Chain A
Amino acid sequence: MNKTVTINISGIIFHIEEDAYQTLSNYLSKIKGYFSKTDGGNEIMADIESRIAELLQQKINTSKQVVLMVDVEHVMNTMGKPEDFADLDNNNNGLGNSQTTNTNSTSNGTETKKRLFRNPDEKAIGGVCSGLAAYIGVDTVWVRLAMFLLIFFGGLTLWVYLVMWIIIPLAKTTADKLAMRGEPITIDNISKTIQEEANDLRNRVDKTNIGKTASDLGNTLGNVFIRVLGLFIIFIAISMVIGFCTSSFSLFMVSSNSTVSFWIGSVLRSTAHYGWAVLSFILVFGIPTFMFLYLGIKLLFRITYSNKWLNLSLGLIWLLGFIIGIYVTYTTFNQFSETSKVKETKAIINSGDTLIVKATTVAELVKQFEFENNDDIENELEHDRSGYWTGEDKTGKTILGKVNVDVVENPNDTAIEVVAYYEAKGSSKQEANLSAKNIAHTLKQVGNTITIDELFLINQNDKFRFQEVTIKIKVPVGKVVYLDKSLKYMLDDVDNVTNTWDGDMVNRRWKMTDKGFVCIDCKGIDTNNNKNNSDEDEEEEGSSNNKSENVKIDEKGIDIKDKDSHIQINSDGIKVSTPEKDIEITNDGTKKVTNKK
């Protein structure tokens, strides 16, 4: 049993078997495709169909009512292949009207000019990109990618796309599609295209049969969602790429001569570690960035192609990068796991009651060092109790650190003891110890005066291992220490009875008592605990002066306040502040005028 189709050729009805129908239909569309370009093509077509009808009619009778495959084959053999028609037409034109020969032969050459169409068969949105790709002869993916990337340059392509969508016609007919690809419109090409489309259609029909429940709307929404997701992911990926590029760039910059590079180099165990760290960074961040971009583009353009090996190998490489990263991190942390403290007694002072402690300040020190970046060091470290800086000279970079000074009670002895503690970290006690011992720091003792360098230097061959220097001045009960002004930023939480802040302790004499450290020339200092002081009447005198809020005369000096102006005279010098200008004369004789307006 075979299914038949009813057809009408030249006004005559035939019952024809399905496969025979397919063949005949293909045959006719082939011929038609060819003659559509010829003058009087419809007429020729009608003639041919009429002849076919005649031929088929001869094949059927009352006992055989259906046209079979063999009949169609017979018709095709009788009529000939469409290619033969084409050949004939060329030559007959030559024989016939000589005037039309040239024009006809060129039109039969059918070297059709490419035309720009929107491609309906391969469209993501409007088919603009695939049409454009066909027109310029590249793969659609590249055009889409370019379009997409160009969106980020002012979004111009968005508008271009919309305009193109509107003005470029959709390739509706087979001839349009051929013209779009610039393929000559020949019967062969047309039949090929038609067959491709038929296959395509069949595939699509199959697909919809599989997913019957998924309605068209659902599909469209799903598609839109997937594309939006793709766009979003691409957006993230591009941000990542930008971030990645800038950080790679800065890493590159770092690897060239710079302070950051010096620090990283100084922290890491070796230059090899530096290389590993960079490699790990590139792998651990670069691969996900790449994969994100890849995924986004795949979603956006609905590319189902996936490369298992690519994914797998990238995953493995990422893992490798991660492991390297962990290794570098671990070894780096390990460099700081152990601490060593080296103690060195610098001076023992027995003679006299008062020890004068001074510092060689940063400003003075940098003059000795003659680094190329002296000013920077001075600015950075002068008023900072902690922190490190690098001094740069011809031999390279040297790490500088601030020295802390502490004053504590010396319970067991009657002499004042000055002890230096050098501290450093390392992967082992020995390493840490070595680093600590290599710290260069100067402390001078002349009679009852000790002078402490405010900065210490880390040996250029040594790594940075949180080196620290603390000078402890151990004072037995009854002895006095004068803390010079230059120690202002070096004192670190010195315990005292009055809880005076380190910065205020300088320029004073402090006596160690059995209760603790007591200031012996701090009268008038604005601290609550000052009442314990022996000089109580002076204290009262000072406070009586304090009754006048505008004029204050005390141990510190003279302080006169007006509505707008402020005059201070104390050990630091003279300071006058008016709405117009500030005038400052410091005790070393320098005068500074600042115009406010």
Chain B
Amino acid sequence: MEPINTDNTKAQMRKGVLELCILSILMQGDAYPTEIIDKLKDTKLVVVEGTLYPLLTRLKNTGLLTYRWEESTSGPPRKYYKLTEIGTQYLKELQVSWQELVDAVNKTIEKGNSSIII
């Protein structure tokens, strides 16, 4: 057994919801990776950028996302990602289950907290 590592647990949790967040961001409009990263960084969900690229590629390969190339004035051409219809559908399902999860977790945590306080 590895020693318990809270950093690791946090990272796992962040990574778990990353997919939901990316899809949510793209729901608001098409974006290229840097934009997505910037937004995620604001919410402190992504610490290192490298994690994003494999995930995007995989989402695209499973048909949830598509992309188009756009020229950039200040660098290489950019990949703009866009939600597909399946992606939109998938996101909605995820959001529902996320909500359920949050509720369940909140209740559990509150109970736990109260018991700790007592």
Q: Which chain A residues have a beta carbon within 8 Å of chain B's beta carbons?
A: 10-12, 31, 35, 38-40, 43-44, 47-48, 50-51, 53-54, 57, 77-82, 84-85, 87-89, 91-93, 95-97
What 10 A-B pairs have minimum CB-CB distances, sorted nearest first?
Answer: A80-B48, A80-B50, A79-B50, A10-B76, A88-B51, A47-B53, A54-B75, A40-B57, A50-B76, A44-B57
Query: In the complex the two chains form, is B34's CB within 8 Å of A88's CB?
Result: no
Q: A54-B75, A97-B62 are in contact. Are A84 and B53 (CB under 8 A)?
A: no
How far in angstroms is the closest Cβ of chain A from B27? 17
Q: B29 contacts the other chain (Cβ, under 8 Å)?
A: no
Query: In the complex the two chains form, is A47's CB within 8 Å of B57's CB?
Result: yes
How far in angstroms is the closest Cβ of chain B from A558? 118
How far in angstroms is the closest Cβ of chain B from A89? 5
Closest-by-CB residue of B relative to A9 is B76
In Å, the complex CA distance between A85 and B62 comes to 19
Closest-by-CB residue of B relative to A97 is B62
* Residues in B41-65 with C-beta less than 8 Å from chain A: 47-51, 53-59, 61-62
Not counting A10-B76, A80-B51, A88-B15, a sample of 13 additional A-B residue pairs whose C-beta atoms are within 8 angstroms of each other reads A12-B75, A39-B61, A51-B33, A54-B74, A54-B76, A80-B48, A80-B50, A82-B50, A85-B51, A85-B54, A89-B55, A92-B15, A92-B18
Within 8 Å CB of A12, what residues of B? 75-76
Q: A40-B57, A44-B53, A54-B34 are in contact. Are A79 and B48 (CB under 8 A)?
A: yes
Between A and B, 30 residue pairs with Cβ closer than 8 Å are A11-B76, A12-B76, A31-B50, A38-B54, A39-B61, A40-B58, A40-B61, A44-B54, A47-B79, A48-B50, A48-B53, A51-B49, A53-B76, A54-B34, A54-B74, A57-B74, A57-B75, A79-B48, A79-B49, A80-B47, A81-B48, A82-B50, A84-B48, A84-B50, A85-B50, A85-B51, A89-B55, A92-B58, A95-B16, A96-B58
Within 8 Å CB of B54, what residues of A? 35, 38, 44, 85, 88-89, 92
Q: Chain B's interface: helix, strand, loop or mixed, by majority?
A: helix
In Å, the complex CA distance between A511 and B33 comes to 137
In Å, the complex CA distance between A31 and B16 comes to 22
How far in angstroms is the closest Cβ of chain A from B33? 6
Within 8 Å CB of A54, what residues of B? 34, 74-76
Q: B19 contacts the other chain (Cβ, under 8 Å)?
A: yes
Within 8 Å CB of A96, what residues of B? 19, 58-59, 62
In Å, the complex CA distance between A85 and B12 comes to 12
Within 8 Å CB of B50, what residues of A? 31, 48, 79-82, 84-85
Q: Which chain B residues have a beta carbon within 8 Å of chain A's beta carbons?
A: 11-12, 15-16, 18-19, 33-34, 47-51, 53-59, 61-62, 74-77, 79
Closest-by-CB residue of B relative to A91 is B15
In Å, the complex CA distance between A84 and B11 comes to 10
Give the one of A44, A89, A97 with max B CB within 10 A. A44
In Å, the complex CA distance between A43 and B79 comes to 11
In Å, the complex CA distance between A80 and B77 comes to 22
Within 8 Å CB of B56, what residues of A? 47
Closest-by-CB residue of A relative to B90 is A96
Within 8 Å CB of A48, what residues of B? 50, 53
How far in angstroms is the closest Cβ of chain B from A38? 7
How far in angstroms is the closest Cβ of chain A from B2? 13
Query: In the complex the two chains form, is A53's CB within 8 Å of B75's CB?
Result: yes
CB contacts between A and B, total, < 8 Å: 85
Q: A12-B75, A57-B75, A80-B47 are in contact. Are A51 and B16 (CB under 8 A)?
A: no
Closest-by-CB residue of A relative to B41 is A78
Query: In the complex the two chains form, is A92's CB within 8 Å of B19's CB?
Result: yes
Within 8 Å CB of A53, what residues of B? 75-76
Query: In the complex the two chains form, is B19's CB within 8 Å of A95's CB?
Result: yes
In Å, the complex CA distance between A250 and B35 comes to 90
Within 8 Å CB of A50, what residues of B? 75-77, 79
Within 8 Å CB of A85, what residues of B? 50-51, 54
Closest-by-CB residue of B relative to A89 is B54
In Å, the complex CA distance between A291 and B19 comes to 69
In Å, the complex CA distance between A372 and B74 comes to 114
How far in angstroms is the closest Cβ of chain B from A28? 11
How far in angstroms is the closest Cβ of chain B from A57? 5
How far in angstroms is the closest Cβ of chain A from B22? 10
Within 8 Å CB of B11, what residues of A? 87
In Å, the complex CA distance between A11 and B19 comes to 30
Query: In the complex the two chains form, is B48's CB within 8 Å of A92's CB?
Result: no
In Å, the complex CA distance between A31 and B48 comes to 14
Within 8 Å CB of B16, what residues of A? 91, 95
In Å, the complex CA distance between A545 and B49 comes to 134
How far in angstroms is the closest Cβ of chain A from B31? 14
How far in angstroms is the closest Cβ of chain B from A448? 116
Closest-by-CB residue of B relative to A53 is B76
Within 8 Å CB of B57, what residues of A? 40, 43-44, 47
Closest-by-CB residue of B relative to A80 is B48
Within 8 Å CB of B75, what residues of A? 12, 50, 53-54, 57
Query: In the complex the two chains form, is B48's CB within 8 Å of A78's CB?
Result: yes
Within 8 Å CB of A10, what residues of B? 76
Q: A79-B50, A92-B54, A96-B62 are in contact. Are A47 and B33 (CB under 8 A)?
A: yes
In Å, the complex CA distance between A7 and B90 comes to 41
Within 8 Å CB of B59, what residues of A? 96
In Å, the complex CA distance between A274 and B110 comes to 95
How far in angstroms is the closest Cβ of chain B from A97? 6
Closest-by-CB residue of A relative to B56 is A47
In Å, the complex CA distance between A91 and B92 comes to 21
In Å, the complex CA distance between A80 and B51 comes to 8
In Å, the complex CA distance between A371 and B19 comes to 106
How far in angstroms is the closest Cβ of chain A from B24? 14
Closest-by-CB residue of B relative to A50 is B76
Closest-by-CB residue of B relative to A49 is B76
In Å, the complex CA distance between A78 and B53 comes to 13
Within 8 Å CB of B76, what residues of A? 10-12, 50, 53-54
Closest-by-CB residue of B relative to A42 is B57
In Å, the complex CA distance between A10 and B77 comes to 9
